[in-house]
Structures are given as structure tokens and as C-alpha cells.
């Protein structure tokens, strides 16, 4: 594809829209699907994963599995590619994640635990900085060392080795999602019992544990702060459906908050978004929880949402991934809201873009002070990462004129069809020219 064509398609155009109406279906969670795919390497044979989002990050994980020697295929129904993947894991794999793939997707490091568990060795390129700045993996390595692994790093590659992983009690100094996942996967075939204290509690961790148990693992307590893993010798392939994406669901909640109207989000699990829904309810959105669907109603226009203060925290706190969406909502709410980022220090890069759209936001350390304005004004902006890109798109729904979001490939990393879904809800949004 020529660069000219790429640059035309790498743009999302949005016009002021609303009220929205209708029904939207969320896909499986990116941040679960990637880990389940990595976990398949622990059991040779044919795995089937359903409800997998067809997004760029999943394509990179497919590339990584293929690089190692697995055969990965999307299933088709009546000639149309469905959201199901088969992964055929051979008896032997190349236990490595090369730089070109780790650089494209930092989440590639979740193969470390599974590879050590299965082969007693793993070579993974050191992830560099990313859109949020420097993100260390010290907790991943320390936890795996406590199970008996040793690591050396040279020429930009982390080399891990272990004769036999041994169960242990591990206290994580912080409930890191990635460290919990690497450790959990490594512990599954470790000898004896592993207890992970201060584990991350995100719904995607519980999903990974359920998947591993489907493979024959003995994991209990996942979703809580203490996870216990009784090591087993053998795992088998599994067929599994990925948990719905709570961040994608939140994106449509923000869209209706910004554009008005009422929509139904199929697959949205209110029980996975409780703190967020409390905040959005305090702002004036109304919800009807149908278990695995959520109906949301925005205040009648010209009514505005009310401002609130929000702090991001590990689950069950308000996720850092929701924050750009919340800043977009607060930028047109009535009053002043203070957002405090406690998870990723550098995650404010989209704020100058919202300010270009007329938002009144001041950043002080890890706080963003957002003074709501009545209406934003469409402008050319740039998506710095997946969630911020989506937030700029939905902010455009509340901006007079046209907003053109460049670097839209970031959005495609995490959303299967954000533009199509918003358009079907009645938004004036399109890709490229």
C-alpha cells in the first residue's frame, strides 16, 4: 500500500452529532484475548478462542505465535471471517519474542511466563519506552525469579531459564496486571502450590484463570487479591469465549454522554465497570443493567452532565484506560472536575489535543483540572495511543464543525470497528476522505 493511501486512511473524520440511538455490540476484551493467545503455547494441540476482536494488536500476537511455530487461523462462517481463532500449538516451538514484534506491541512480554513454564527457557526482547513513557518489567522478572527462574540480559534480549519452576508465596509490591498474568501462567505447571498476594483483580485476570482451568490448571481466587495455584503436570487444549471488552463498552458510554440520546450496549458487563458507572451516574447518565447488556440514557438536551472528581486506580478502581474518555466528558460538563492519574505517570499526552478543540484543561503533576465549556470546536488532532485516540473521536461528537483525528492506526490497535459502530448509532463519523 502506498504511503499516500495509508495517510488518507489513517484519519478519522467526525462532525458534531446526536442524539445517538440504537444498539451496539462490544467484542471480546483485547487485554484478555492477547493473554489467552499467549497461554495457548503451554499445551500442544488445537485451541479455539471465540469472541476474539479483529484488531491490529491481535494480528501482532498472531504473528508472534506464528513466528514461534504455531499455526493460527481465523474461522469463517458462510465465507465471512468470524471472531473465532484456532491456534494449533506443535510439540516444539521457538521460545522467543523478537524485537520487531515486542517493539510493535509491548504486551508481547506475556509470553515470558508461558514459555518458561513449557520449555524452561524464553528469549524476549527488552520492551522499549512507549506512548506512556518508560514502563519497566522489574516486577514480572522478580516474581518469576521467586519461582526459580534466572534471567540474563544482553544485546537487548532477556534470556530466562529454569530447570523446574517451584511453587512459592509471592507478594507483589503493586497489583500489576502484566506481572500477575506472567506469574499466574508460569505457576500453573510449577511444582507445588503458588500463592500470589496483592494480585491484580481485573476481570481479564479472572478470565485468564478460567481459561487456564479449562486447560486443566488448578487456579482459585482469581479476581480477588490472593490467587492460589496448585501446580499440575499436564495441560490440554481448550475451546473458550473471551470476556467482553469493558473499555470498548465505556467508549460507547462516553459517546452517548457527549452526543446525547440513548443506546443499548450488548455484551457490556455492568459488574465489571461498577466504579465507572457510579461516576457516570453522578454526572447524570442513567443506566438499566440487563446482566450482559446495558441500556444508557443521557440527559435531555440542552441539559449538561455534571462535573465530578475521579482518581484512576487498579481494579476495582476507575481504570486508567477510561481516563481520556472521562476527560472528554468533563471537558463539556457543567463545572470543574479534577482527574488524578495514579497508574501511568505519563498518560496525559492527549490533553493538548483536547485543548486544541477548545477544552479548558490545566495539568498539574498527575492531576488534570478540567473546567467544562458548553461546546468544543472541531480541529485537526493527533491520536497518541489507543484509548486517547478513541476519546478524541468521541470528543468530536460534541465539537462544532469537523474534527480530523490523525494517526488513527492507534485506534485500530484496540477497536474492531469503532467508526462503523458509532455511525450505526447515528454519529457523523467516517474513515479517511
Cα angle 154-157-163, degrees, rounded to a multiple of 5: 90
Per CB under 6 A, contacts with ligand EPU among 364-393 are: 386-387
Nearest approach, Cβ of residue 138 and ligand EPU (Å): 5
Does residue 249 bind ligand EPU (CB under 6 A)? Answer: no
Tell me if 215 contacts ligand EPU by CB under 6 A. no
CB-closest chain residue to ligand EPU: 178
Taking CB under 6 A as the criterion, the residue among 72, 107, 165, 242 binding ligand EPU is: 107
Tell me the C-alpha distance between 235 and 221, whole Å: 19
Q: Find out whether 115 and 121 touch, Cβ atoms under 8 Å.
A: yes
Residue 177 as a binder of ligand EPU (CB under 6 A): the answer is: yes
The yes or no reply on residue 212 touching ligand EPU (CB under 6 A) is: no
- Which three cell numbers, joined as nine digits, stand for 355? 485543548
CB of 80 to ligand EPU, least distance (A): 27
By beta-carbon proximity to ligand EPU, the closer residue of 68 and 247 is: 247
Residue with cell 510439540: 91
Q: How far apart are CA 84 and CA 236, in angstroms?
A: 19
207 has catalytic annotation: no
Minimum CB distance to ligand EPU smaller for 26 or for 137: 137
Site size toward ligand EPU, by CB under 6 A = 24
3-state secondary structure 103-151: HHCHHHHHHHHHHHHHHCEEEEECCCCECCECCCCHHHHHHHHHCCCEE
| Least distance from ligand EPU to the Cβ atom of residue 107, Å | 4
Assess whether the previous peptide bond of 153 is cis (omega < 30° from 0).
no
Q: What's the Cα-to-Cα distance from 121 to each of 100, 115, 124, 151, 190, rounded to whole Å?
A: 20, 6, 10, 10, 14
Q: DSSP assignment, residue 305?
A: P
Question: According to the binding rule CB under 6 A, does residue 104 interact with ligand EPU?
Answer: no
Least distance between ligand EPU and beta carbon 131 (Å): 8
Place of cell 488524578: 340
Is there binding between residue 269 and ligand EPU (CB under 6 A)?
no
| Residue 55 near ligand EPU by CB under 6 A | no
- 1 three-class SS: coil
Q: Site mask, ligand EPU, residues 279-318, x = CB under 6 A? A: ----------------------------------------
**Order of strands, sheet of 380-382, starting from the edge strand that comes earlier in the sequence:** 380-382, 402-406, 11-15, 428-431
| Catalytic residue selected from 57, 130, 197, 407 | 130
In sequence order, what are the residues at sequence separation of 6 or more whose Cβ sits closer than 8 angstroms to the Cβ of residue 354? 327, 328, 331, 361, 376, 381, 391, 392, 395
Q: Which of 139, 144, 330, 359 binds ligand EPU (CB under 6 A)?
A: 139
Which parts of 312-341 interact with ligand EPU (CB under 6 A)? 319-321
Residues within the interface to ligand EPU (CB under 6 A): 30-31, 34, 107, 135-140, 174, 176-179, 200, 319-321, 343-344, 386-387, 414
Q: Which residues are catalytic?
A: 130
Amino acid at each position: 500500500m502506498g504511503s499516500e493511501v495509508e495517510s488518507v486512511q489513517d484519519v478519522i473524520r467526525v462532525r458534531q452529532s446526536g442524539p445517538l440511538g440504537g444498539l451496539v455490540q462490544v467484542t471480546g476484551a483485547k487485554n484478555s484475548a492477547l493473554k489467552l493467545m499467549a497461554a495457548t503455547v503451554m499445551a500442544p494441540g488445537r485451541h479455539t478462542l471465540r469472541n476474539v476482536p479483529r484488531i491490529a494488536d491481535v494480528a501482532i500476537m498472531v504473528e508472534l505465535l506464528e513466528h514461534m511455530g504455531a499455526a493460527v487461523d481465523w474461522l469463517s462462517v458462510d465465507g465471512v471471517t468470524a471472531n473465532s481463532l484456532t491456534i494449533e500449538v506443535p510439540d516444539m516451538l521457538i521460545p522467543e519474542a523478537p524485537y520487531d514484534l515486542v517493539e510493535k506491541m509491548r504486551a508481547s512480554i506475556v509470553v515470558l511466563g508461558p514459555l518458561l513454564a513449557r520449555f524452561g527457557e524464553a528469549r524476549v526482547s527488552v520492551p522499549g519506552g512507549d506512548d506512556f513513557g518508560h514502563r519497566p518489567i522489574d516486577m514480572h522478572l522478580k516474581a518469576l525469579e521467586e519461582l526459580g527462574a534466572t534471567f540474563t540480559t544482553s544485546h537487548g534480549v532477556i534470556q530466562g531459564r529454569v530447570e523446574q519452576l517451584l511453587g512459592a508465596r509471592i507478594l507483589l509490591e503493586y497489583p500489576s496486571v502484566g506481572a500477575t498474568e506472567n506469574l499466574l501462567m508460569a505457576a500453573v505447571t510449577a511444582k507445588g502450590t503458588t500463592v500470589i498476594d496483592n494480585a491484580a483483580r481485573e476481570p481479564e485476570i479472572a478470565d485468564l484463570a478460567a481459561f487456564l482451568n479449562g486447560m486443566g490448571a488448578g487456579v482459585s481466587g482469581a479476581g480477588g487479591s490472593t490467587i492460589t495455584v496448585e501446580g499440575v503436570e499436564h495441560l490440554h487444549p481448550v475451546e473458550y469465549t473471551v470476556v467482553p471488552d469493558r473499555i470498548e463498552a465505556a467508549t460507547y458510554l462516553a459517546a452517548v454522554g457527549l452526543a446525547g440520546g440513548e443506546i443499548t450496549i450488548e455484551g457490556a458487563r455492568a459488574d465489571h465497570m461498577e466504579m465507572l458507572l457510579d461516576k457516570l451516574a453522578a454526572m447524570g447518565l442513567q443506566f438499566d443493567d440487563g446482566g450482559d447488556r446495558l441500556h444508557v440514557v443521557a440527559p435531555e438536551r440542552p441539559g449538561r452532565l455534571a462535573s465530578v472528581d475521579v482518581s484512576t486506580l487498579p481494579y476495582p478502581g476507575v481504570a486508567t484506560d477510561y481516563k481520556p474518555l472521562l476527560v472528554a466528558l468533563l471537558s463539556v460538563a457543567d463545572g470543574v472536575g479534577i482527574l488524578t492519574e495514579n497508574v501511568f505517570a505519563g498518560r496525559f499526552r492527549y490533553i493538548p489535543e483536547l485543548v486544541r478543540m477548545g477544552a479548558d484543561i490545566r495539568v498539574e503533576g498527575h492531576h488534570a483540572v478540567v473546567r467544562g465549556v458548553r461546546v468544543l470546536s472541531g480541529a485537526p488532532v493527533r491520536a497518541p495511543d489507543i484509548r486517547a485516540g478513541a476519546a478524541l473521536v468521541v470528543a468530536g461528537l460534541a465539537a462544532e464543525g469537523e474534527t480530523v483525528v490523525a494517526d488513527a492506526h492507534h485506534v485500530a490497535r484496540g477497536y474492531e470497528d469503532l467508526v462503523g459502530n458509532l455511525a450505526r448509532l447515528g454519529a457523523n463519523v467516517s474513515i479517511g476522505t
